[in-house]
Structure 1
Amino acid sequence: MPNTYEQPDEVRVWFHPDYSSWGGRWHASVIPGDDSQRPDVPPLVPSVARISTQLRDGSEHDGLPDGCQAAEAPIEAALALLARSYRPTHPDALDVTAGWADESDRLAFLDRVAAIDDALRRALGASWQVSVSREPGVTEVRLEGEYGCEWPLWVHYGLSDDDDWPMLSDGVRQRLRAWAREAEPDRMGDPDPQVTERLLRDLRAELGDRFVVDVRL
């Protein structure tokens, strides 16, 4: 059915590690483009373990748009890399990339994720947004203000603490705390865009290429 919302619906795909063994599961969810219809917690539609078999046909792929089967081959390739070379880190570990035994496999995994993203975008077209997480090929970090939060860095397990980031300089830490105060939702307006851009630039430089930092205002 064609999407009737101003913002297209979104298909989200991400990998969730099995912390007791090698590998894990791929998940997918559909997020309505209309903000008024977005659930507080995105539903899993469905839980995609072995997505190659789950998405082929039948009720197991109810809720996902037709065309998601196009992701089958690159997801199988990504699963093969994960099974061979990735041992999930502790659920509370900051850097999810630490579980890779081989750097070339980590980089190859990022190529497979890009292929998943490309396959879904080609199959679904402009009527759907597509979001494919790059974890655990990188650690995804979100810069975001929240009520009462003095620290603005969020990761896969939620809000982090400043003690979790020993690699950051004192200067960047101070700027992050100042940004968090300016980004609290009950303040009028967002932080200065130039301040945010400089902070993102310096934060990315200090964290290195195993971390990907985005901002949410």
Structure 2
Amino acid sequence: MKTIAALILALASVCAQASVVLTNPFNNTAVGPLGESDTTTYGQVFTTPDAVNTVLDSFSLIVRSSTAAISNLYAGVATWVNGGAGTAVFTSAPFSGNFADWTEVIVGTGGVDLTPGQEYVAFFSASGLFDGTPDGLDVGLSDDSETLGFVFDNSAGASPLHANWDGRDAFRSFQLAGSMEFSPPLQEVPEPASLALLGAGLLAAAAARRRRSIADARATEPA
């Protein structure tokens, strides 16, 4: 199986310091096809792994082309509410490819802040990119239960950001194969000017303590 992260050149790089990685291992089975003229979108429902690691740095799905045509896709993350996608929190630039072998396609998000306990869906979609040439991708499945189940949308090319993905909740007995990397939010780093002022203040305090120590020592010297 191949791994490709460079397909999506317009995205920010994948964070190399992820604190938690959720992995759904590929079990050599699949659903599909994703693409024209069948299913518009496949996604994985998930929550943050805990209340600390709430930034989604990257996610991946494992795909293989079922035709000789090029597939045109983009990736996204949205809130998952009542069996459908709600508000978009991340959308990638479009990317294309034909994957003769099973390929893990990694999408760097640049760091998306998520709410603990809120359900989200991370998806690959061909919505709005159909070009009249039939194409399709098989999407790998997993037996693992790190995430909450896969979902799909047969909305014939419409935006996946609508309230009802075929009237279905997530298939919680199955998962899409792939991984998700999370990290804590970045702590705010003081600006250089603030650091300089802090340093000056510490030096002034140290000098004042030194002067007081010298004065105290002189006051106790015998006359």
TM-score normalised per structure 2:
0.23
TM-score by length of structure 1 reads 0.23
More helix as a share of residues: 1
More strand by share: 2
Query: Which structure: larger Rg?
Result: 2
Q: Which is bigger in relative contact order (C-alpha 8 A, separation at least 6)?
A: 2
